[in-house]
Chain A
């Protein structure tokens, strides 16, 4: 594994034409391709690094662990096959959250899921507060259009919610969270939705 293509992508991302959009269309397309190649290479390096960090015992089965970690570069269009599929096929979803900054961060993260009745635990087994937000029609439309446009296929799994939950991540470190299905009370709170139209 190396990061030569990432270095190329980083150089492009800092080029004045790429930042300001003063390049020709076919050059923009070339930039996008090179950024994507850099991202794909970096994704493999990150998966490999996280596999070693999460459990050093995995190193003997390193190749296996690397292939198991996936990222979701299309979260901006609500598209994340690993988070959508895991819960619908009866498995638990494991999310490793890495903090690249030198201070502790407490934030909420969001992943698309296709089922309600889910529960989130941290690596100590403590239940974590979570919330389901219904996916709006506008978000679904954006997702469907762009998956078809850029990936050339139907989005497949129908997601229904964004699952938001609180994470606490140490400086330059990681935390692990497990999302599983749980139909009992105490699972994720579904958001209350209010709509007003004009004076109604």
Chain B
């Protein structure tokens, strides 16, 4: 009695209503059932110079601690149900402004739309916002990221097959560019996450995928750009940091079944249906 079920077809997501959090992913057709959490955190950026404590900036990702983003006060979970789509709306805090998780009729993936920003920097700390999708899969330090939209390449945490890697930055040393998606697998299932834009991402913990969704930093990293990654938008001389909106897509398949979806749906993300509008008089549909 403390769970809300979302999705009316084969795919269902179960949320705990007291905490307002995703708890389980169930596909009744493929018989995949696993625990799943979707959480948000931020890395605080190093505030340094080119001589001491290299700063985090546009080129350099140098986190100085990880902080989970918990909702402020009671968690509000709004669910909209209908014949075509079920939606879950959440606002985690004033600047994780809106997260909508959707399951469309006949589809076996969840779509997550995020609106993040303006990232607060009043405390003098730049922040890089990430989301983590966590399952109980046993993935042996291995994950796969696309190569500029083409083949997925195997990545192993803290390891490069071409040289003896000394890891000084356990987070950024394992980050990779993601243009299409990232996946992990164990002996029975694979978790795929596809994106609609270029982001950074990794799998820093077995069974977990993380994506970096937004960044706002206060110091130049002294690598050429010459200014901090701290863009603002101003309305009537009132300025604030940027807000980003984007989507990512989550699907869990039996082992070996995910490649078809990644390839086909990946093309559809980057080739959306094009809409053109016009009008006609009255209700005569002909």
Collect the chain A residues with CB atoms within 8 Å of residue B75's CB. Answer: 197-198
Are B105 and A28 interface neighbours, CB within 8 A? no
Contacts A24-B227, A108-B104, A148-B235; A91 near B281 (Cβ below 8 A) = yes
B46-54, B119-127, B164-172, B265-273 - the one binding chain A: B265-273
Contacts A164-B85, A196-B77; A138 near B115 (Cβ below 8 A) = yes
CA distance A139 to B264 in the complex (A): 30
With beta carbons under 8 angstroms apart, the residue of B20, B231, B273, B281 that contacts A167 is B273
Which B residues from 61 to 93 make CB contacts under 8 A with A?
74-85, 87, 89, 91
0/1 interface trace, chain B 252-281, chain A, CB 8 Å (1 if under): 000000000000100110010111111111
Judged by a CB distance under 8 angstroms, whether B163 is at the interface is no
Are A105 and B268 interface neighbours, CB within 8 A? yes
Judged by a CB distance under 8 angstroms, whether B23 is at the interface is no
Collect the chain A residues with CB atoms within 8 Å of residue B224's CB. Answer: 22
Judged by a CB distance under 8 angstroms, whether A71 is at the interface is yes
* CB-CB nearest in chain A for B234: A149
Cβ of A125 to closest chain B Cβ, rounded Å: 5
Judged by a CB distance under 8 angstroms, whether B198 is at the interface is yes
Are B80 and A25 interface neighbours, CB within 8 A? no
With beta carbons under 8 angstroms apart, the residue of A146, A165, A195 that contacts B84 is A165
With beta carbons under 8 angstroms apart, the residue of B87, B268, B273, B278 that contacts A109 is B273
Collect the chain B residues with CB atoms within 8 Å of residue A191's CB. Answer: 80-82, 87
Cβ of A18 to closest chain B Cβ, rounded Å: 9
Are B226 and A24 interface neighbours, CB within 8 A? yes
Collect the chain B residues with CB atoms within 8 Å of residue A28's CB. Answer: 231
Are A192 and B81 interface neighbours, CB within 8 A? yes
Are A189 and B82 interface neighbours, CB within 8 A? yes
Are B282 and A91 interface neighbours, CB within 8 A? yes
Are B267 and A71 interface neighbours, CB within 8 A? no
* CB-CB nearest in chain A for B274: A98
Collect the chain A residues with CB atoms within 8 Å of residue B245's CB. Answer: 76-77, 142
Judged by a CB distance under 8 angstroms, whether B4 is at the interface is yes
Are A196 and B280 interface neighbours, CB within 8 A? no
B18, B106, B283, most chain A CB atoms within 10 A: B283
Are B104 and A107 interface neighbours, CB within 8 A? yes
With beta carbons under 8 angstroms apart, the residue of B81, B115, B267 that contacts A142 is B115
Are B229 and A91 interface neighbours, CB within 8 A? no
Cβ of A26 to closest chain B Cβ, rounded Å: 9
Contacts A94-B279, A125-B286; A194 near B97 (Cβ below 8 A) = no
0/1 interface trace, chain B 30-72, chain A, CB 8 Å (1 if under): 0000000000000000000000000000110000000000000
Told that A131-B82, A166-B84 touch, could you supply 7 new A-B pairs with CB distance under 8 A?
A: A21-B215, A46-B274, A97-B273, A99-B273, A107-B268, A107-B273, A149-B233
List 8 A-B residue pairs with CB atoms under 8 Å apart, sorted by A's residue number. Answer: A23-B225, A25-B227, A69-B277, A82-B279, A92-B285, A96-B276, A197-B74, A199-B17
The 9 closest A-B CB pairs, nearest first, are A82-B277, A131-B82, A138-B98, A191-B80, A191-B82, A86-B279, A198-B74, A98-B274, A196-B17
Measured CB to CB, the residues of A under 8 A from B are 19-25, 28, 46-47, 50, 68-72, 75-77, 80, 82-83, 85-86, 90-101, 103, 105-109, 111, 121, 125, 129-134, 136, 138-139, 142, 145-146, 148-149, 164-167, 169, 178, 180-182, 189-199
